[in-house]
Chains A and B, each alone.
Chain A
């Protein structure tokens, strides 16, 4: 609900609609005002989330502004006092007849084979408002039938009615103006520029808003008819934004995800990952029955009872020698059940749902939380102290972009690299790894720019002016660089809190429900509800761990040293996904029992002794906690394949094998216990969760004092030339993308990005790969000169095909210095 929905804050504008006296809100467009009063004015080009253009002319209605009635486009006309609107006049009707007849003269009418047939605004408007027959006897306009304009979207230009929705979306909303009108008159068409596909992360939205079947999603094309689809409202678990979605299935198969227009979260938009990653559920590689390694043999299918018995045996030992990694894939209920099983039953605190790629739990949980709408509120200042949101939280990126472009929000970048928002930023402070805390501290009044590590004075001045307290400030906080300790980010947080009292934070972590995992206690030192382990009283639990556990890094090191016997992987794949590849390998090979709860035999699960098949998104009921602390439903639409089970049920099965009653056998019982244990969930009405608008924002108004000690001293430059920046691309070799057929090929090849000045200084020549050397560990990599790279840094993305940057990363390092030389040269 936006502010304008509150009747107290609006001044009504009286006008006459079809003879009835009604009121519009201030500045409300006639088409919206009519909608609210139950009068539907037909439209094609108008979309409430984009600027109106008034070009389809379908919404022409008779409006008398005092000089007699005349046709006006309702989508472009703010209601002014005392106008008389007639949406049923003869003039209106003949204009509607005319526009529909015109639209249909070149429309192919291949509705029987069109994906849109049955949910098509052109069909609906024709039926309700059209002339019934065409007088057109000429040949229609012909184009080649669907042409692919991207790996995900096909374009059928014959069906296109040129409403400008997709092109407007690409330009105004996504900021990827890769599709455009070309040609003139009736030969006008939408198309891409030659050799530049519509490779936007947001291309699927154009399919959803197309009012005809001109834009087609390749994964959905010819898969179902709209009237065969069943729908539930749910929440995307692709990243922590928690975009609200409609999940649709046909014959017990997920067939389509649509964006749900939620005022609070995603405004109806989705990234292509949100939209198309449902395909993982249909992957041929799904694990559909428990797998067990008997002796030294291969993993073979087994019964649940055998698998859980084997797992239970391994979990019975010394709790301090049992650890859990992962859990961000799970829903809240699964996370609670596993937290209770591992902490409250087994008794271990070695639990981490982050794989050394997020933020320390106290930072993610304990900073005063902002909502997306607060961050994007008109006139505010946003500090980006995290990754490129377009690559890691793309749906949030759309909201941020809109706030900056349309609502006067000013952005300050405190990032190790320019991001997709840099062109729109009011101040750009791109910090060499290790210096972000120092730069943030230098923003305080009276501090000289010299301590700001050579940041441009104009940018520092601009940032200081924005942080002078006259405008509300929020921070989008995340992990911008995997090759740099989160410690420096913590220092920057501290500096910003001292500089701007009352500053609030949006913890922009990447992994699905990771904030739910943290809240549910899947992290060392905490129990559900953000309660610290030490001294906690959890009556429903047999006991609580009696030691503070290790985080992922600690668990890995301990395992590699032989201090851990059993690791449980909750949908985690450290072999591929943990930043220090060598350590992950050593750890998983050393432990005596590895238990994987997963839907795929990942590289890590392949090492497991037991695999317990898990249900995925859309296959189990539960809920999701997004980065705002918003609890929204994540519902089952299809049944899990084979013997796969919801994660919480797996926990119950394991408890049973351990001879323990976990205390719940239904979701309702689990939720009741969760609410009674986690105070932040005390007020949640679980029965109404699915029917609430976008789900309640939990009371997470924490203001913990973060104990990081004195600000870290940035490491001095070493003889090693460049500092490494490692981050994520949206399309990578993660399981979700790789197991979705249409997303699998989208990851770009790995590439080392260097500033042109550094390229010259290093003497690299085009066509010769670079040798990256970190303390003797070397890696050969293709490189590109990229002016957006901050000088004296080198940038790479993790988990891309080509080379594995993780061989350069070692956990525990404050920054990663590398030396680069040309391959084949002697340096």
Chain B
């Protein structure tokens, strides 16, 4: 473990002059070493925690309203309270960051592994358990290597292991390397994988991890960034934490912005206090869309989130607001696409990801996502049929029935459909593939139609009545197309 095979950490972190909690050591190129960590309040949070009763630590986290950073945004302190009084119990750290567009946890694991380990130990202490599993995504070699080194150092210095800091508290942290499956970022699939099985999600209920998790024992699954907050939070307290951010989502969070902005990267921001416009156009942040282009659409919370458009730019980055507007902030990955982007091609790129990453467990996801991919490929290959657009929506509706979440489209008179989608599947992977389809067709139907050359005739002028028909089969539209096609012969 001592040999550093991977020297350079991943690029992308942007220091934006704002308040910093989890990235505050990033300026130092040696921030991942125990020496530097100890020189910068390292393990002070743990010392503080261990001077308190476990319940007090848990209450502190609850008071701070530390929201989970994995995507659902559920308060960590409340989640911890769900554990029944059953032992053994486990803490599992989800470092399988793989949502398209997200690369914040990777930086935290590569550049401040001790901060994460300290968070793990504090959480274990607060939860009264002594076994933590740190599951790191298979592809993140440097993160694995640095965590391994940090764990060895932490064990050697008694921050982890038997009799931590001279007390009678024993906590073990086990590093587990994933094998590279997107779905293992889903907590129940991660647990399956950790147990040595193929990573496939379990149905909730009955397999809520807090009740029946790892080895069917109570298990808390927390995100890397969530736990990375604990060092600072324990040292500075809940009130100090709540001075940052908004009332509903205190503190800071890391956002990964990619795509057609001038300065893409990972930013630590007080999320609830700024809008998408601030983030994309602000001087401290992304500094605007690249020259000569306009914003076309953006994904506010990772590849699984329905798309937003210019209409939504002034929304605050607040989970509840974004949810009501028809999408999600998710794991804090924003993908910005300008007017050079082909909506159909972007849609296919995302759908293909889900088709390839479907674990194969649920029929609708396994078969539906690949069918969607095939239809989109056919359209892009010039073999599309008029009915394929509604077929796409209908296939999507068989994976995610009912009205699919979508942003409002005022010009077309369409109001927002709030998050989340319904699903015929166990986990949200299948429904995620529907997000780009519904988003793209609702907004850019004409782009799809323009690519459909079969039976095209002269019906470019077909009335796109923009009815919100993604949960029906769109018969009205079929009828139009047929009529025009017939007329053309």
Contact = CB atoms under 8 A, between A and B. Distances in A.
Do A and B pair up? The answer is yes
A63 interface: no
Nearest to A163: B363
Interface in B329-381: 355-364, 366-371, 374-375, 378
Contact of B357 (A53, A54, A99, A184): A184
A57 B391 contact: no
Given A102-B398, A184-B358, A185-B370, A76 B206 contact: yes
Contacts of B426: 54-55
B203 A54 contact: yes
Given A91-B401, A98-B424, A136-B371, A180 B198 contact: yes
Contact of A185 (B369, B401, B425): B369
B401 A94 contact: yes
B181 interface: yes
B224 to A, nearest CB: 24
Contacts of B296: none
A625 interface: no
A4 interface: no
Contacts of A94: 398, 401
Contacts of A136: 371
Contacts of B378: 138
B162 interface: no
A480 to B, nearest CB: 33
Contacts of B359: 184-185, 188
B368 A102 contact: yes
A60 B378 CA distance: 31
Nearest to A99: B363
A101 B360 contact: no
A185 B357 contact: yes
Contact of A188 (B206, B360, B371): B360
Contacts of A184: 181, 356-360
B363 A185 contact: no
A102 B362 CA distance: 10
A185 B369 CA distance: 8
B266 to A, nearest CB: 28
A106 B363 contact: no
B361 A55 contact: yes
A30 to B, nearest CB: 13
Interface string B398-436: 110100000000000000000000101110000000000
Contact of A181 (B198, B355, B356): B198
B424 A138 contact: no
Contacts of B360: 162, 181, 183-188
Counting chain B CB atoms within 10 Å of each CB, which of A53, A56, A102, A136 scores highest? A102
Given A105-B371, A184-B181, A188-B360, A95 B366 contact: no
B398 A138 contact: no
Given A95-B424, A186-B355, A102 B371 contact: yes
Contacts, number: 98
B424 A57 contact: yes
Contacts of A54: 203, 426
A93 to B, nearest CB: 11
Given A54-B203, A55-B426, A76-B203, A186 B401 contact: no
A478 interface: no
A76 B204 CA distance: 10
Interface string A103-127: 1011000000000000000000000
A292 B359 CA distance: 67
Given A95-B401, A98-B398, A162 B366 contact: yes
A148 to B, nearest CB: 23
A103 B367 contact: yes
A443 to B, nearest CB: 31
Contacts of A185: 355-360, 366, 369-370
B10 to A, nearest CB: 25
A120 B203 CA distance: 27
Contacts of B375: 138
Contacts of B371: 102, 105, 136, 138
B355 A99 contact: no
B486 to A, nearest CB: 20
Interface in B206-249: 206
Given A57-B425, A184-B358, A188-B360, A105 B367 contact: yes
A186 B424 contact: no
Counting chain A CB atoms within 10 Å of each CB, which of B358, B359, B363, B366 scores highest? B363
Nearest to A75: B203
Interface residues of A, number: 36
A751 B401 CA distance: 60
A255 to B, nearest CB: 32
A186 B363 contact: no
Given A76-B206, A94-B398, A95-B424, A161 B363 contact: yes
Nearest to B429: A185
A823 interface: no
Contacts of B200: 55
A56 B378 CA distance: 27
Nearest to B473: A135
Contacts of A162: 360, 363, 366
Contact of B364 (A53, A70, A99, A180): A99
A747 interface: no
A164 B401 CA distance: 25
A186 B364 contact: no
A54 B204 CA distance: 11
B232 to A, nearest CB: 38
A266 B364 CA distance: 35
B130 to A, nearest CB: 25
A103 B365 CA distance: 11
A212 to B, nearest CB: 13
Nearest to A189: B360
A58 interface: yes
Nearest to B426: A54
Contacts of B355: 185-186
Contacts of A138: 371, 374-375, 378
B205 to A, nearest CB: 8
Contacts of B401: 71, 91, 94-95, 98
A56 B426 CA distance: 10
Contacts of A103: 363, 367
A73 interface: yes
A185 B356 CA distance: 6
A410 B398 CA distance: 47
A793 B163 CA distance: 46
A180 B200 CA distance: 13
A754 B366 CA distance: 49
A580 B359 CA distance: 57
A73 B361 CA distance: 14
Interface string A139-177: 000000000000000000000011010000000000000
Contacts of A187: 360
Counting chain A CB atoms within 10 Å of each CB, which of B206, B359, B367, B422 scores highest? B367
A185 B200 CA distance: 11
Interface in B119-165: none
B455 to A, nearest CB: 14
A345 B398 CA distance: 76
Contacts of A70: 422
Given A94-B401, A184-B360, A185-B360, A135 B367 contact: no
A534 B335 CA distance: 94
Contact of B363 (A55, A97, A181, A183): A55
Interface in A531-579: none
10 contacts: A53-B361, A56-B363, A70-B422, A95-B401, A98-B424, A99-B363, A99-B364, A185-B369, A185-B370, A187-B360
Given A70-B422, A94-B398, A188-B360, 19 more contacts: A53-B361, A56-B362, A57-B363, A76-B203, A94-B401, A95-B424, A102-B364, A102-B398, A103-B363, A138-B371, A138-B378, A162-B360, A164-B361, A184-B357, A184-B359, A185-B358, A185-B370, A186-B360, A186-B370
In the A-B complex, the 4 residue pairs with the closest CB atoms: A188-B360, A98-B398, A186-B370, A102-B367
